[in-house]
Structures are given as C-alpha cells and as structure tokens.
Amino acid sequence: MGETRRESLPRYQLFIDVKWVDAESGKTFTATNPATGESIAEVAEADSADVAKAVAAARKAFEGKWSEVSPSERGRLLFKLAQLIEEHSGELAALETANAGKPIRESTFADLPLTVGTMEYFAGFASKIEGETIPLFNGMFTYTMREPVGVCGQIIPWNFPLAMAAWKIAPALAAGNTVVLKPAEQTPVTAMELAKLVQEVGFPDGVVNILPGFGDTAGAALARHPGVDKISLTGSAATGAKVASVAAGGMKAVTMELGGKSPMIVFEDADLDNAVSGAQMANFYSSGQICSNGTRVFVHESVADAFIEKLIARSRDLVLGDPEKPETQVGPIVTKAQYEQVMSYIEKGKAEGAKCVLGGHAVSEGMPEGGLFVAPTVFTDCTDDMTIVREEIFGPVMSVLTFSDEDEAIKRANDTEYGLAAGVFTKDLSRGHRVVARLEAGTCWINTYNITPIEMPFGGVKKSGVGRENGRAAIEYYTRIK
Ligand code: NAI
Ligand code: MG
C-alpha cells in the first residue's frame, strides 16, 4: 500500500546547472503536508558531492556566460521569471499551502504577490547598480565599481519557502552573482517548482542551482565549500552562529537573518483597536512562525485591562483549521518537532506562573486528521525573566507585560540578546520617533507591525544577525566595491 502511494507521488530531482539530476547518492526524502501529515512529494536529497557539482557549475557560469550578460538583460530575465510566477500563482499558492501549512488566503494574497514583487523590484535594479567618481587633487579622481560577490550559497527556512527563495535569488542575480540555494528540508516543494520556471525563462547554465537537502549535510557542505564567496542564511540563531563561524574560516561574506524576541510597546495614548490588530499580526499570522514577531507585548498599565479585553474578544474567534479553506486564518504548525517545542513553551509559561487567558492548548476537534494545531495563546501577568518572555517560541504564543513609563519600557524592550524588530503604538508622533531611535532593533514599525515591503531594508542587530535584505541595501550586500 505505502509503496504504491510513494510511487504515485510527484518526484523532484536536484536542479544543477539548469538541468534535472538525481543525487549522487541516489537518496531521496519525503515532503509532507503539515495539515494532514500526508506525503506530497519524493525529493532528491543533496549532499556534499552534489554541492560540489552545483558550486562548480555556478563558478563556471559566474566567470563565463553570466559575466557576458548585460545588466539590463539580467533585469529582463528576472522580469520574465516574475511574469511566469504570476501566471502560475494559483497553483503555486495551493502548493505552498500543502508545503508549509499556510492558510490559502496567506499564500494567495501575501506569499505569491511578495514573491512576484521581489523578482520585479530587483529586475528593475539590475541596470541601476553604479559606482562613484571621487574627486581628489590636481584634477585627479578615483572611481569605484560595484562588482558581484561571486557564487552565493543561500540557505532558507520553512516559514516562507517561496518568498524567502525570492528574497535570496532576486538581488543576487540582479547584481550579477550566481546562486546555489538550499530550501528547508521541511518545505522543498515550491522551490523546485520555481526551478522549473527558472529553466523556462532560459537563464544560462549554472546561474541558478537549487539543492533540496538537510542542514547538517547539504547546508554544512555549502557553508564550508571554498568555491562559495558568500553565504546568506535565514534561520535560527544557533544555526546562524554555526554557519557564520564556518564561513568566517573561509573569509566568505555573510548575511544572517536570524531569530528574535521582538518587543511591541503600546503606550497609553495608542489607538487600542489598532494596537490589538498589530499584536495579532505580530503573534498569530502564519501560526506565529515568523522571525520578526513582536512576542513581548508591553502595554502601559493604565490601558492594560482594556487592551487585554479587546485582544481576547477579537482573538477568540480567529478561525483555526484546514489551511486549504478560504476562511481559515490560522493553520497548523509546520512539523511535529516544532509543535512539541511550542507546546513545551506553553507548559513552561503555565508552570512559571504566567496567566493563560486565551488558548494554551492543542486543538484536534474539527481539524484535519493528522495535522498539528495549536490554539492562539495569550499569557498575561508575565515577567521579564520568564522562559516564554526570553526565548523564541515560533508559534502562536503572545506574552503581555505591563509598564509604567517610557524609559522603563525602552530599557526592558532592549533587555534581550536579540534585536530583529520592534513596534511602537502611540498617537504622539514625536514619541514614536524618539522611542524608535532608542530601540535596539534592525526593523521598527510605528502603529503597524510585520509589514515587510520589498522596498524596505530588513535585518537584525545583536544575535538576530548581520547584513540586510531587501531594498537597495540588499544590492549592497550582494556586491563589493572595487
Ligand atoms: P534552522 O536554523 O536549523 O534551519 C534553517 C535552515 O538552515 C534550513 O534550511 C536548515 O536545513 C539549515 N541548516 C540547519 N543546520 C545547518 C548547518 N549546520 N549548516 C548549514 N545549514 C544548516 O531552523 P529549524 O531547525 O528549522 O528551526 C528551529 C528554530 O529556529 C525555530 O523554532 C525558530 O525558533 C527558528 N527559526 C527561525 C527562522 C527565521 O525566520 N529567522 C526560520 C526558521 C526557524
Ligand atoms: Mg535546526
């Protein structure tokens, strides 16, 4: 029975040198749908031998064919890729939902438009990467050129599989680099569909290589390969530290987009309904599986009761369930391991004395069988030293804390090893900007949260990483100055 099922599954090979090939080892692994636990594809499993082949292909392209393609032609190829993704966006959104368990409304209205928009944005950039002329003395001058870095090893997580692939591939190609991308082992499927479109566009051989595989094998091989000039990783702080130190050994350029425990500060003058929307976006969207989430919600003590009341009233009816249904707002947790991590944090929150005022449990009734669902959860009466307030949970779990003045809020907001993002809710414009200036975070929002337009540089400070993605900044990190 099992075997028959396996044989009828879609199969994906590795994408090396713009061709489809089996892994050298012949190994494959199975991709599953988080909402049902069902197998959705059989995928070739890359390891160091395959990484070596892909890097060699990427290097050959970088030094050969790709270097002869003009910037505007690079832009045209990326535009064509954007168009193809847009043409296939219905199927890709459905597949992303099966791949990552994302509610179909998210895949359709957020992930796919973001993926297309990213390709378009950087397509436009390809022909606008310029150096400078710097005047010296006696009529002399010096000039700079912005060159591509070379072969880029790109490692991405499972929470936004297609959009993260686009965030990595688009600026790298726009700037004239070649890439070897490793999708997350939990969610390889949409990246391989993207590879089909890359092939259809007609990129020269070797420019894009996509190798599904695991972190310890394919990922680690990419990080240490001497033919890779830059490593860009989005993932956990622990993996980031490991990969960055390996990359440092080879003097590779790095961009690290890691986790967070970001603060969201709600002042007494904030529009509370808007602040509740922000807190929901910052904690429950994508089942809370977002690096920039504002999981420490600091609310001024004078409005805390009103905020919590509105928050519960509006979060109680969030529609949890089958991500394929259009009404679903919160889907499953991506894997059993991730689900167990989230549940263990919820238990820790309760054991350490936080008050669970919403959710705080798994849900199976009315859910697709085999899926891993956690109810949107709110803890109040939290203190700064609690485990749920200090550690990244990566699930739909919010901690509410109270404060009494601005200085105190800023000090406590900054009291974390992370620094990815932060949010400030206030009607006082001066205060909004004043507080943002003092927050230790790479990305700050005022009166909104988790909006990541492609025009906006994105990235962290402290243990949340180094470098920036998106915006003009991404081009800077995918080029070097001569
Ligand atoms: P992870 O950081 O281990 O995995 C992310 C990517 O890195 C995957 O493609 C993985 O295969 C690769 N990787 C893992 N170990 C590697 C190694 N030694 N060398 C090279 N590549 C390696 O994240 P994981 O295990 O999926 O999730 C654990 C926690 O990480 C989550 O609970 C969450 O807290 C955090 N996380 C943060 C993300 C973010 O967006 N910043 C995304 C995913 C997870
Ligand atoms: Mg890991």
- Given a cut of 70, whether residue 6 has pLDDT beyond it is no
Give residue-wise pLDDT tens across range 153-165. 999 999 999 999 9
- Please report the pLDDT score of residue 8 as a whole number: 83
Helix (H, G, I), strand (E, B) or coil at 89: helix
Up-side HSE of residue 93: CA atoms within 13 Å toward CB? Answer: 22
What pLDDT does 317 receive?
A: 93
Alpha helices in 188-236 (DSSP H): 189-201, 220-224
- Extract the runs of DSSP E, i.e. beta strands, from 240-331: 253-257, 263-266, 296-300
Span from the CA of 308 to the centroid of ligand 1 (angstroms): 33
| Residue nearest (by alpha carbon) to ligand 1 atom 18 | 216
308 in Cβ contact with 436 (< 8 Å): no
291 given a catalytic annotation: yes
Question: Would you list the DSSP string of 329-387?
Answer: -B---S-HHHHHHHHHHHHHHHHTT-EEEE--SEE-TTSPTT--EE--EEEES--TTSH
Is pLDDT at 7 greater than 80 in this prediction? Answer: no
Q: Residue 366: left (phi > 0), alpha (psi -120 to 50), or beta?
A: left
**Mean pLDDT score, 5-32:** 92
**Structure token digits, residue 300:** 């001024």
Beta bridge partners of 378: 358, 398
Q: How many angstroms separate the alpha carbon of residue 29 from the centre of ligand 2? A: 17
Q: Which pLDDT does position 1 carry in this prediction?
A: 35
Per the listing, tokens 């529009």 go with: 271
Q: Is the pLDDT of residue 128 over 80?
A: yes
Whether the pLDDT of residue 2 is over 50: the answer is no
Supply the residue whose CA is at minimum distance from atom 40 of ligand 1: 291
Of 53, 102, 152, 168, the catalytic one is 168
Pairing of strands 397-403, 377-380: parallel
Checking if the pLDDT of 210 tops 50, the result is yes
Mean pLDDT of the chain: 97
Query: Which residues touch 431 (CB under 8 Å, ≥6 apart)?
Result: 267, 406, 424
Pocket test for ligand 1, best of 239, 293, 342 (most atoms within 8 A of CB): 239
Q: Determine contact, residues 412/403, Cβ cutoff 8 Å.
A: yes
- Residue 416: predicted pLDDT: 98
Question: What does DSSP assign to residue 111?
Answer: I
**Mind listing the pLDDT tens digit for each residue in 343-398?**
999 999 999 999 999 999 999 999 999 999 999 999 999 999 999 999 999 999 99
Please tell me the distance between residue 236's alpha carbon and the centre of ligand 2 in angstroms. 7
Confidence of residue 188 (pLDDT cuts 50, 70, 90): very high
User: Which ligand is in closest contact with the Cα of 337?
Assistant: 1
Q: For 242-271, what is each residue's pLDDT tens digit?
A: 999 999 999 999 999 999 999 999 999 999
- pLDDT value of residue 4: 42
Structure tokens at 261: 């425990």
CB-based contact 280:264 (threshold 8 Å): no
* Burial class of residue 290 in the structure, from the number of CB atoms within 10 Å of its CB (0-12 exposed, 13-18 middle, 19+ buried): buried
Residues with CB under 6 A from ligand 1: 155-159, 182, 184-185, 214-216, 219-220, 223, 233-236, 239, 242-243, 257-259, 291, 338, 341, 392, 394
pLDDT of 239 higher than 50: yes
